[in-house]
Chains A and B, each alone.
Chain A
Amino acid sequence: MRKIKEFVIEKSLLSSALITIAVTFGIISVLAVEAFQFFSEVSIVDFLTDSQWTPLFTDKHYGILPLLSGTLLTSFIAISVALPVGLSISIYLSEYAPKSFRKTIKPLLELLASIPTVVYGFFALIVVTPFLQQIIPDLSGFNSLSAGIVMGIMIIPFISSLSEDALHAVPKAMREASYGMGATKLQTAFKVVVPAASSGIIVSIILAISRAIGETMIVAIAAGQQPRLTFDPTVPVETITAYIVQVSLGDVQHGSIEYRTIFAAGITLFVFTFLLNTLSFYIRKKYRQKYE
């Protein structure tokens, strides 16, 4: 009797764990099925090379490049903000700051990551864009610059926290050896600690990029809804995610080509983030506990 009970419990726990596999399977098949039907109507060559994305207009074009350029542009701006600031914070906190300071600052920084993204969108549109317009008078009301900068601020704690963990895990003996040779903290940080923690830092950067590419609300609110193939940060653009939101807000019939475009856009997004996430998983796996 007891054996049967134990067996049933183990299998039901296992089935809970298997749900996660079902989720992945579900995501891939949903995206694949709808995207497959999309590509039966639109040639994949057009999808990858056409420089216009106008599925909601009468003159329809289905080129993903404008959405892709919008996504890459906002992500690039975000990473340009988050990477130098986040890395500097992590090195400062791990190598220079007193322990008590580190202990108070880290949770505060992580508070930045817990703020809902719609709130960042508000901030980008209502505060940052008007502020930037005083410096750049030509800046449009919707633009990738402001959205990208605010997204960068949101991502800072991802990079600073994960990198700091990696730096902190480097054994003290390595630092002491470097100090013993007469090196300063800065030299030790950049020539010894950062290289030793490089895999952890790289993982944090990859995860930050993946996060930026998939971020939705900030860009949907502040970057605009005009797909255009440009790398000019002052004009309105549209990201893949913002396009999915735009279509979802409208009244699009299931089974129509418009409905399928969001899955075609979605699978493009999924492929990018999947590759980045898998890469980070393997880096982490390979270099984990190197010093333990």
Chain B
Amino acid sequence: MNSIQKNRLKDQLFKFWGIACTLFALILLVVFIGDILIDGIQRIDWDFITDLPSRKAEKSGIYTALMGSIWILLLTTIIAFPVGVAAGVYLEEYSKKNRLSALLEINISNLAGVPSIIYGLLGLEVFVRIMGLGASVLAGALTLSLLILPIIIVATRESVKAIPQSLRDASYALGASKWQTIWNQILPASGGGILTGVILALSRAVGETAPLIVVGALAYVPFAPASPMDEFSVLPIQIFNWISRPQHGFVENAAAAIIILLLITFVMNGIAVYFRNKWQKKLK
């Protein structure tokens, strides 16, 4: 075999290796979801969704955890959405190239990489203790809002940046002020992209476990929260709690709750992708 043939052989071998690696990851994804479906699907019925948690596995449901997750999701949206978009718009439309903008940029990039559990420690000290909110839904939502803020800011900046300058010039030419231009032209035009980023950020928040454990969310809550000041649990914490119990019935419960959680996550991701595609078409 001469060196050309050798090189071609190596080339082919690497190609198969690349395909093998890609398939490996995808097959794992399938095995993963398949295994959880097998373990949990027969446990899911209406009672499982509406039952309160119980010491007996077969009587336990996810009602309180699901309601907790919905509360967290709503409050986090209300808090993080306006702040994140406002910050993103500021950085892209107002901020001049100076020391402050450079600091803001490196800071946001750094915050995006801070482990989620550190946000939990921040929330525990600031929201739970100093502000006296206790281990409430509000404290949890504030903590998760800070966690997803960088994601929303980055998504907003990218979307606003994608709007052509001609749109701004046209608006200014008609005598609109800067804010009128942003409010009437830029935000509607970049809405699809911002929405995509916000939904992706929220889908991350729904799956977060560690920061909420640190903030003091409970594994066992007898009632669904009725106000932002109530204590709460969320789906991922309920799952974590069931995984750590030895009896087999709870493993089944955990798998069933995971199916619900994955469903929520994947639906949110699906919606996000839908908005992105629609928006990108519109932009063109």
Contacts and interface: CB of A to CB of B under 8 A. Distances in A.
Contacts of A31: 118, 121
The binding surface of chain A is classed by DSSP as helix
Interface stretch (B187-195, B225-233, B258-266): B258-266
B184 to A, nearest CB: 13
A27 B11 contact: no
A88 B26 contact: no
A20 to B, nearest CB: 5
B120 interface: yes
Given A20-B87, A248-B216, A273-B113, A121 B32 contact: no
B26 A92 contact: no
A186 B32 CA distance: 32
B214 A85 contact: no
Contact of B86 (A12, A107, A127, A270): A12
B18 A92 contact: yes
- Among B18, B32, B179, find the residue whose CB has the most chain A CB atoms closer than 10 A: B18
Nearest to A269: B115
A150 to B, nearest CB: 9
A153 B109 CA distance: 24
Given A108-B26, A221-B240, A281-B106, A27 B113 contact: no
B121 A266 contact: yes
Contacts of A19: 83, 87, 149
A48 interface: no
Contacts of A116: 206-209, 236, 261-262, 265
Interface string B76-91: 0000001110110111
B90 A123 contact: no
Contact of A244 (B21, B214, B262): B214
A207 B113 contact: yes
A21 B19 CA distance: 44
Interface string B154-184: 0000000000000000000000011100000
B144 interface: no
B243 A126 contact: yes
A74 to B, nearest CB: 13
Interface string B1-25: 0000001101100110111011011
A207 B221 CA distance: 36
A249 interface: yes
Contacts of B200: 114
B133 interface: no
A97 B14 CA distance: 12
A114 B203 contact: yes
A248 B126 contact: no
A32 to B, nearest CB: 11
A111 B244 contact: no
A245 B22 contact: no
Interface string A70-107: 00000000000000110011011100110000000101
Contacts of A17: 86-87, 90-91, 95, 104, 153
B273 to A, nearest CB: 7
B115 A127 contact: no
B239 interface: yes
Given A127-B35, A214-B118, A266-B117, 10 more contacts: A24-B110, A30-B121, A88-B18, A116-B206, A116-B207, A116-B261, A117-B209, A119-B239, A121-B243, A278-B106
Interface of B: 7-8, 10-11, 14-15, 17-19, 21-22, 24-26, 28-29, 32, 35-36, 39, 82-84, 86-87, 89-91, 94-95, 103-104, 106-111, 113-122, 124-126, 129, 146, 149-150, 153, 177-179, 200, 203-204, 206-210, 213-214, 216, 219, 236, 239-240, 243-244, 251, 254-255, 258, 261-262, 265-266, 269, 273
Please provide the 5 A-B residue pairs with the shortest distance between their CB atoms, ordered closest to farther: A92-B18, A214-B115, A116-B207, A16-B86, A277-B113
30 contacts: A10-B90, A10-B179, A12-B86, A13-B89, A14-B94, A17-B153, A19-B83, A20-B107, A24-B111, A88-B21, A97-B22, A109-B25, A112-B25, A114-B207, A116-B265, A118-B236, A118-B239, A121-B240, A184-B11, A186-B11, A189-B14, A216-B115, A216-B116, A217-B209, A221-B243, A245-B213, A248-B214, A266-B117, A273-B113, A281-B110
